[in-house]
Structure 1
Amino acid sequence: MTLAVLPVRAEGGRLGEFLASGLGAELLRPWEGQHSPRELLSGRFTDFSGWVLLMASGIASRFLSGLPESKLRDPAVVILDEGARFAVSLLSGHEGGANALAYRVANLTGAVPVVTTATEAVKPLTLGIGCRRGVSAAAIEEAVTRVLPGRLTQVREVATIDLKADEPGLQGFCSAHGLPLRIFAAADLQTRPFVNVPSGWVESVTGALGVCEPCALLASPRGRLIVPKTAYQGVTVAAVEDVWAAPRQDPV
């Protein structure tokens, strides 16, 4: 995937450099040339398979006016505000890969990935997963299906700690099921350590009191923990369900 990062102004240049380096993208610097950001986007729109626009959504909407032609051919477009708070999948979410690109940007910057395509919106479950080094994708899948029998297709995303971001088994499991992997730093998990049983061993290794529960609850903060930390053959799994999707519980 050939990527371009386009800040709307020079003040976004440092963030643009960081993103371009992390994504292997080309950084466009309109403040150094003869063309405006809008002219650069319009003139080179089809030169790249994906764009990260560092600008407000209103500006991006105006810049993109008249450029998209088909969701089967248009490049992916992700918007990131200059404060790196939200990475929004705006154009070609599925076919063009903008949804996946939004997660890549979010994992690099700590932003919240924003995906609005209907396929993801109707999936009510978020998984937090921790695992020992070298655990296979098959073992992770077995652990998940044991704690959520028949509900794997309802999972929207998987979250884990940054120490496990490059774990082949976890990446393989997510890839096999088309699930985005969201990454949290240990410091983020410590701010909201929603764990039923804190683990001294986990804290000594990761710097966080727990992995799967706080990851799931941070990824879906308005959800309800329906599966607390459950361990199986080197894998820990927790599941959170959107509150509007969970069965109603009448007060006693």
Structure 2
Amino acid sequence: MPFPPGATPLFAGLGCRRGSPADNLAGLLRRTLQAHDLPLEALAGLASIDLKYDEPGLLQLAAHLDLPLTFFSAAQLAPFATRLSHRSPVAFRHSGCHGVAESCALALAEQVSGQPAQLRVTRIVHDDMTLALAWAPSFGG
């Protein structure tokens, strides 16, 4: 997927229940990008929590988009808890992380850019899926 010249890369954090189909995850991603007038080509990577390392929907989405999929442990995501728009007790009970999508998006943006990241789109919840987009504004563009 060609990356737009001069664009700042976006990093998507995804959370989902087991068995969420790739088509549903792709639809959520597409709708979110369109709603915020962001190009799909600006996506530079996807991330989720390591509990989902074998989740078919996430793996298929990454393959379909030809994007790297990175997994982070709850311990790696913990430092981002104070920067989340929403801290979910339910997510914490299930994963040890207060917000999978936002934490993963921030973690990946900072890992790739080596710079402080910000949420570009805060947590979007649809059915049993969550999505957030992060960027490092001074990186790439």
- TM-score class normalised by the smaller sequence: 0.7 to 0.9
Q: 2:113 maps to which residue?
A: none
Is the contact between residue 217 and residue 240 of structure 1 (CA under 8 Å) also seen in structure 2? yes
- For residue 223 of structure 1, report the CA deviation from its aligned partner: 2.7
Cα RMSD for the two superposed structures: 2.4
Q: 1:21 maps to which residue?
A: none
Gaps of 5+ in 2: 111-115
Q: How far apart in 2 are the matches of 1:167 and 1:220?
A: 22
Q: 2:51 maps to which residue?
A: 163
- C-alpha distance after superposition, 1:37-83 (max 9, x if no partner): xxxxxxxxxxxxxxxxxxxxxxxxxxxxxxxxxxxxxxxxxxxxxxx
- For residue 192 of structure 1, report the CA deviation from its aligned partner: 2.1
Q: How far apart in 1 are the matches of 2:4 and 2:102?
A: 21
Identity %: 32
Q: How far apart in 1 are the matches of 2:123 and 2:140?
A: 19
The size of the alignment, in residue pairs, is 130
The structure that has the greater radius of gyration is: 1
SS at match of 1:230: strand
Task: Give 1:41-60 correspondences, 5 Å limit.
Answer: none
For normalisation by structure 1, the TM-score amounts to: 0.48
Q: How far apart in 1 are the matches of 2:89 and 2:15?
A: 15
Q: How far apart in 1 are the matches of 2:140 and 2:67?
A: 21
- For residue 224 of structure 1, report the CA deviation from its aligned partner: 2.4
1:205 aligns with one of 81, 84, 94? 94
Q: How far apart in 2 are the matches of 1:246 and 1:120?
A: 10
Moved >2 Å (runs of 4+)? 118-123, 221-224, 244-247
Is the contact between residue 120 and residue 156 of structure 1 (CA under 8 Å) also seen in structure 2? no
Task: Give 1:181-220 correspondences, 5 Å limit.
Answer: 181-193=69-81, 194-220=83-109
Is the contact between residue 91 and residue 98 of structure 2 (CA under 8 Å) also seen in structure 1? yes
Q: 1:69 maps to which residue?
A: none
Task: Give 1:80-91 correspondences, 5 Å limit.
Answer: none
Q: How far apart in 1 are the matches of 2:98 and 2:43?
A: 25
Is the contact between residue 123 and residue 155 of structure 1 (CA under 8 Å) also seen in structure 2? no
Q: Which has the higher contact order (CA 8 A, sep 6+)?
A: 2
For normalisation by structure 2, the TM-score amounts to: 0.83
Query: In structure 2, do the counterparts of structure 1 residues 120 and 183 end up closer, same or farther at CA, with 3 Å as the change threshold?
Result: farther
Query: In structure 2, do the counterparts of structure 1 residues 181 and 123 end up closer, same or farther at CA, with 3 Å as the change threshold?
Result: farther
Task: Give 1:105-124 correspondences, 5 Å limit.
Answer: 124=9
